[in-house]
Structure 1
Amino acid sequence: MKNLPALKIIEELEKLFPEAKGELNSRNTYELCVAVILSAQSTDVSVNQVTPALFEAYPTLESLAKAELNDVESYIARLGLYRAKAKNIIGFAQVVIERFDGVIPSSMEDLTSLPGVGRKCANVIQGECFHLPSLAVDTHVSRIAKRLGLAYQKDSVAVIERKLKKKLPKEKWTKAHHQMIFFGRYLCQARKPRCYRCPFVEHCHEKNKNLIA
């Protein structure tokens, strides 16, 4: 079975999801960053359900930095890991104020130094808030990359990110990230993929462990 080139895959995804974009609701960089931190191991839908009340209570970095942990927990209690996430978003606000004079940084090094912000979150923030070329690898992107022969089954998230960035031109990174997420979310799901609608079904490595990356 021959692997499709990454660019060919992205061309097909462009036909399927030309309007693919981030689905976390936010009105500014502060809100987007908090929403991204909250989205770890939670769906965008569930995050969007809790953030309106959260941002009404804490509309700024400064207000969140001064918040009581128990109060923040009460707003996000329906999310998984909500206690850790409440601690992280308060810490995020505090560190941005203390170390960066209240200005959310844009570099990968600075972003990943913030509480609750790993490399995946930082990539999302760079692409969505600062319009920098970025390619965040979440569970959807990882699954698609492995099924379509763009990565090995054993590859870590960091390795998959490097491989995808090498295979795709920089100007396509951010859009490709969203399109792969849409493909994984709405067609190529983990448990019950809709293979009958998939343009890549003949190239899928789901049952083939000898991937060529």
Structure 2
Amino acid sequence: MLKDTACRIFSVLFNQYIREDTNLNFLEFDNPFQILIMTILSAQTTDRTVNSVKGRLFEAYPDPSSMADADISKIEEIIRPTGFYRAKSKNIRGASEMLVREYEGIVPDSMEELVKLPGVGRKTANIVLNHAYGIDAGIAVDTHVKRVSFRLGMTDNTSPDKIERDLTSLFPKEAWGKINFLLISHGRSVCDAKKPACDKCCIKELCRYYRENNSPDKE
């Protein structure tokens, strides 16, 4: 895909999904520690489910020190609705322990340091950096971003790291922080995994999937 086409898609999606009062964060958080933990919890579940356990989790363990000292069975009980709760409990307590041990309880503000934490890959680190610190180190690639960017023709890759490289090469850095929100929003409202609603799509004329599935020889 040409950069000009990618920027046209960005402009249309921006006008479609972003207003002055739009909250660009799908997870509800109050500080860098909360967005770190909630993003770890968001794997293989919905943002709504993660948001639903926020109150109870952070009332019990409001900071890295208290989370690091927590009984892991108590953490498991609270986060059970998010799924994979045993692995997630291990990661969030392990990340908290490392924050206390290595970073004086402060969530790092660099990609290099964040990905050292248990349960943190580039996707989680990108979200934490953008949401908590306003730093655009890259573009977080989740299932929606992966699906929509591939259908549009922004990438031919399936590896999140390679997709991220393709996306960052298409868009100027000042747009990186919004790409994740726009592609997720479009994926949830229009470009469904099972059956995309191409008839309702505001960018169908710029979309590879639409062209390939609506050409004359398909009729």
* TM-score of the aligned structures, taking structure 2 as reference length: 0.89
Q: Which of 135, 142, 149 is the matching residue for 1:138?
A: 142
State the Cα distance separating 1:201 from its structure 2 match.
2.1
Distance 2:104 2:52 in 1: 30
How far apart are 1:202 and its partner, in Å? 3.2
C-alpha distance after superposition, 1:102-137 (max 9, x if no partner): 111111111000011111000001100110113101
Tell me, what secondary structure is at the counterpart of 1:78? helix
Q: What residue is the counterpart of 2:8 in the other structure?
A: 8
The change in CA–CA distance for 1:129 and 1:3 in structure 2 (over 3 A counts) is closer
Number of residue pairs aligned between Structure 1 and Structure 2: 208
Asked whether the equivalents of residues 24 and 35 of structure 1 are also in contact (C-alpha less than 8 Å), the reply is yes
Q: Can you give the 5+ residue segments of structure 1 that lack an aligned partner in the other structure?
A: none
Alignment equivalent of 1:150, drawn from 154, 164, 176: 154
Partner of 2:216: none
Determine helix, strand or coil for the equivalent of 2:209. coil
**Shift in Å, 1:205:** 3.1
Q: CA contact under 8 A between 1:3 and 1:203: conserved in structure 2?
A: no
RMSD: 1.9
Long gaps (5+) in structure 2 = 214-219
Q: Are 1:118 and 2:121 matched, yes or no?
A: yes
Q: Within 5 Å, give how 1:69-84 maps onto structure 2.
A: 69-84=72-87
Superposed CA offset, 1:37-59 (max 9, x none): 10011110110111111111111
Instruction: Verify the 8 A CA contact 2:3 2:170 in the aligned structure 1.
Output: no
Give me the whole-angstrom Cα distance separating, in 2, the residues matched to 1:145 and 1:4.
15
For residues 23 and 195 of structure 2, the distance between their equivalents in structure 1, rounded to whole angstroms, comes to 21
Identity %: 39
**Which residue identity does 2:151 align to in structure 1?**
R
Q: List 4+ stretches of structure 1 deviating above 4 A.
A: none
The more displaced of 83-92 and 181-190 is 181-190
Q: In structure 2, what is the Cα distance between the partners aligned to 1:129 and 1:178?
A: 15
What is the distance in 2 between the residues matched to 1:14 and 1:143? 18
Mapped to 2, the partners of 1:32 and 1:155 lie a distance apart of: 26
Report what 2:93 is aligned to: 90
Asked if structure 1 preserves the Cα contact closer than 8 Å seen for 2:5 and 2:206, the reply is no
Report the AA paired with residue 6 of structure 1: A
8 Å CA contact 1:20–1:182 kept in 2: the answer is no
